[in-house]
Amino acid sequence: MEEKLKSIRLIFWALAFVILLGLLFTSCKSATTVSSNELVVSDKLKWSERMAQTLMAKHPNAYEIDNKTAPKWDYVHGLVMTSFEELYKKTNNKKYYDYVKGYADATIDSEGNIPSYKFENYNIDMVIAGNHLFYLHEKTQDKRYLKALQTLRSQLAAQPRTSEGGFWHKKIYPYQMWLDGLYMGAPFYARYTVTYENGKQLDDVAKQFDLIQKNLLDTKTGLLYHGWDETKEMNWANKETGTSPNFWSRSLGWYAMALVDALDYFPENHPKRQQLISYLNSLSDALLKYQHASGLWYQVTDQGDREGNYLEASGSAMFAYAFAKGANKGYLPKRYKQHAEKAFNGLTRDLVKVTPEGYTILTQVCAVAGLGGKENRDGSFDYYINEKKKDNDPKATGPFILAALELDK
């Protein structure tokens, strides 16, 4: 009997030891291991918030977006802050508002100056960086935000122009207009003149689009070239037309977003409003011809069959946003909402990866592309397809959030 009891005790202590070891192992496992009920970002949220909370988790200070280590005034931050502003308006979740305000307060000093901004560069990219300040000033009446807005407006007033009145892209790119520049300048310009100038410069805003259509449109495809050099002297410029040689999806995306965002500030009775709507419709119709079966678009828009070309996230997200907003606002036929849905579904199905922590990672994003400059970028097919890719580049995450909001996803 005693032998039997001894065996039972041994089994009991052996089991207790195994259980204790298991508990010790569980408590000591790496803090980076995340179980299904320890998600940093909940998979029950809509895609707009999943992406926003991913960015906030990875970049606790908004200025850290794009891997910055110090506050910097930059267009990519302006784009993402615009998406967070819209997300706050939709959700009323104060943490999104605080994130936007945090960026403004990190980049604008107590006097309303922007230390990391250089007026004399006449870089139109820097204007959109202040797009979120309209809402902050309206909400807080903080004069610092108004002063920063006025500084950016002063840049537009002094911005060098082509002989026809189009804004140069940058001082270092004289006599050049790029599609990108319309998003960088036009929505801000329209919003400012309506908010503070009784809309007196809306004709000048519309003129920027008119000049793009006149000088960059390819009538065969209905697409617009990335850039145009009035002097026709740049290495990338066609010696007869001044245009760059290819259609780059992100530049077309910037232009489409510029149209839908600037149109918000054109009253229905403005003589140029219908013209801008027609530009948006023409571009959208042309883009549909090149939408891949997946819903996405190629890096070089019209050459999907060429080796090395790839389905690119930022341009696709921008088109999804422009189509969805255009349809929601009545600028585009309602069917464009379905095309936007198809594009967004392509992004989430084919290009989004979700980490064990619940982070949303958007892949296949062209990190940067331009024309000329120190690198002597020639705008060739090979140039565009060989530029580096970067996961969750803000030029994709911002439009992704905006598209998700328009589609309520």
Q: Which residues are catalytic?
A: 180
Beta carbons of 362 and 347 less than 8 angstroms apart = yes
Q: Which residues contact 57 (CB under 8 A, 6 or more apart)?
A: 40, 41, 357, 359
Instruction: Please give the Cα distance from 58 to 214 (Å, whole number).
Output: 43
Name the 3-class secondary structure at 161: strand
Angle between helices 394-407 and 336-346 (to 10 degrees): 130
Nearest alpha carbon to residue 208 among 151, 264, 162, 257: 162
Beta carbons of 313 and 297 less than 8 angstroms apart = no
Beta carbons of 147 and 153 less than 8 angstroms apart = no
Name the 3-class secondary structure at 121: helix
Burial class (CB in 10 A: 0-12, 13-18, 19+), 354: middle
* Placement of tokens 């809509």 in the chain: 46
AA letter at 402 = L
Query: From the CB of residue 386, how many other CB atoms can be counted at a distance below 10 Å?
Result: 11
Nearest alpha carbon to residue 395 among 187, 261, 251: 251
* Placement of tokens 């960026």 in the chain: 103
Residues in the chain: 409
* Placement of tokens 């140039």 in the chain: 383
